Structure 1
Amino acid sequence: MEYWSEVREIEASKLIFIDESGVNLALLRLYARALIGRRARGRKPQKRGRNISIISAISLEKVVASVNIYGAVDAVTFEGFILKEVLPKIKEGDCLIMDNAKIHLGEMVREIIEQEKARLIYLPPYSPEFSPIENFWSKVKATLRKLALRELLCK
């Protein structure tokens, strides 16, 4: 309830949601078509390759900032993303919303955001449904599956 009472007072155009997600270009489509009684067939990569982390900040209108890196995101990488990619694009009064992941909780993150006269709000624990960026990740991963990038890169 505290989250909603805080967020409902903020103009929607000032909300920016930040999160990271991991992907692998070996993602496979979840569904396929086949003739009745036949099994759908497709190629599956032998090697998964390296994992890619995507850190993004989105508003309700556009992608504000996005960075892809190999491997996992740590606190230093996340702080660098905020400093170099997000801060130059936010305005006074904007509100950055993120989950309670350990890498988001650093005091430096709060300080650098508040120096720009922006607000930082954390989602309630275990509440990804309150953040539109989760739907964004779903669409990104579905698109990667559909494009079958692993086949393009392996040719």
Structure 2
Amino acid sequence: MSISFLFKPNPKKKTFRSTQAITESGQQKRLDYWTRIRGVEPDNLIFMDEMGVLLGLELTCSRSLRGQRAYTLKPFYRGTKITVIGAITNQGVLAMQTMPGFMKGDDFRTFMQNKVVPKLELGKVVVMDNLPAHKVKGIEVDDYCNWS
């Protein structure tokens, strides 16, 4: 019996991490975040995030008969871009919206004013990443929060 199968490469999908995550300042920011958020009850946390979708993408893999190559046509246009933004709690989705194109600061402000703020209760903490669209006039930053 051969044990060569133990040494054959076994390709796996990569998990990417930011190079900033392993720097000393990145680690310090992470520690500061966990120190600040530690006293907040999980029921009071609201997480915001967004993602972009390209509707014109084509799958890169296909099926074919053994020994034959799979051929397909690829659309010439790149497709429509859509942004999906949402706010979730541990009870479920608080607010969600789709919008054409990329999200801009005004789009984010409108989403917050019309969808999220009307559903906020006293003591809730909104957590979001540092996307430039989040840093618009009219959106208060955590410096105004009471982190006692």
When residues 101 and 49 of structure 1 are mapped into structure 2, their CA distance, relative to the original with a 3 A threshold, is: same
Structure possessing the higher radius of gyration over alpha carbons: 2
Q: Do 2:84 and 2:97's aligned partners in 1 also have CA atoms closer than 8 Å? A: yes
- Could you list the runs of 5+ residues in structure 1 that have no partner in the other structure? 122-155
Percent identity, aligned pairs only? 34
Query: Deviation digits for residues 98-143 of structure 1, max 9, x if unmatched?
Result: 11112212341117xx7xxxx599xxxxxxxxxxxxxxxxxxxxxx
CA deviation string 1:71-92 (max 9, x = no partner): 1211111101000011112211
**TM-score relative to the length of structure 2:** 0.64
TM-score, normalized by length of structure 1?
0.62
Greater fraction of residues in helix:
1
Match of 1:106 in 2: 136
| Aligned residues: CA RMSD | 2.6
The residue number in structure 2 matching 1:47 is: 77
Q: Would the aligned equivalents of 1:23 and 1:53 in 2 still touch at CA under 8 Å?
A: yes
Question: In 2, Cα distance between the equivalents of 1:93 and 1:40?
Answer: 56
Residue 113 of structure 2 corresponds to which residue in structure 1?
83
Runs of 5+ in structure 2 lacking a partner?
1-30
8 Å contact 1:97–1:120 — kept in the other structure? no
Q: Matched residue pairs, number? A: 115
Matches within 5 A, 1:1-155: 1-29=31-59, 31-42=61-72, 44-110=74-140
Question: Would the alpha carbon gap of residues 39 and 5 (structure 1) be closer, same or farther in structure 2, given more than 3 Å must change?
Answer: farther
Q: Secondary structure at the match of 1:46?
A: coil
